[in-house]
Amino acid sequence: MTNEKKVALVTGANRGIGLETARQLGQSNITVVVAARSLKSATETADKLKAEGLDVFPVQLDVTKPEDRSAAAKTISDKFGRLDILINNAGIGAEDGMFAAKTIETTDQELQKLFGTNLFSVVAVTREFLPLLKKSSEGRIVNLSSILGSLTLHADPKSPIAGIKTFAYDASKSALNAFTIHLADELKGTNIKVNSAHPGWVKTELGTEHAPMEIVDGAKTSVQLALIGPDGPNGRFIHMGAELPW
């Protein structure tokens, strides 16, 4: 099936920043495939956005499961024939919360769990959907990172994040940023651009109610990077149009 509108896939689209990203992309006249770990959750999300007049399609995609990744790619290929935008939004936080400073006490299990979702699954999802993105005239990949992945800022004792040291989470986002840099370089000369997005400290389950930013603003960076033109950034770490240090 052909579709003249751009087609975007948002992982973890059933709540928080993912849901709002899907909403804002839909409001930009884009067909949005909303992915969630269960088809029920994805369908409920799609129904909610369809009620707002948006063009939305649900798909089951637990990013940690190979069978879900391949099935979702086949579904999108069969229905749309290509993918224009991939928002790697799904991710998890530290098991003790974002402000529980912990380094050497970090367990192997927590490292494996956070890297499994925040890095390995992102790489696997991207690998699965890259053939469809290569069929787009303007492929865009947005990896949801965090300012807590910035090695430069963590190493600066005067930076605003200097006192927030949650090793497993921070390191998983640093590694995700490395993936952004490497993939952008590998795809240079193609129509695909790859960037990392820092959404900000947002009032979500992960960010808690103490965060200063509303969800509607937390989605803006991802949407902006999804819609950049041929002269837009590539292989960069961005928050609200400004570049962050790696």
118-127 pLDDT, tens digit each: 999 999 999 9
Predicted TM-score (pTM) of this structure = 0.94
For residue 201, pLDDT over 80 is answered with: no
Q: Mention every residue, 6+ apart, whose C-beta is less than 8 A from residue 181.
A: 235, 246
For residue 3, pLDDT over 60 is answered with: no
- Distance separating alpha carbons of residues 161 and 145, to the nearest angstrom: 15
Per-residue pLDDT tens for 122-166?
Answer: 999 999 999 999 999 999 999 999 999 999 999 999 999 899 999
Per-residue pLDDT tens for 173-200?
Answer: 999 999 999 999 999 999 999 999 999 7
Mean pLDDT calculated for residue range 76-94: 97
Active site residues: 169, 173
- In the chain the first and final C-alpha atoms are separated, in Å, by 40
Q: Mention every residue, 6+ apart, whose C-beta is less than 8 A from residue 116.
A: 64
Q: Per-domain residue ranges for the chain?
A: 7-91+119-147+170-243
**pLDDT bracket for residue 92 (50, 70, 90):** very high
7-91+119-147+170-243: CATH, from 3.30.470.20, 3.40.50.720, 3.30.2290.10, 3.40.30.10: 3.40.50.720
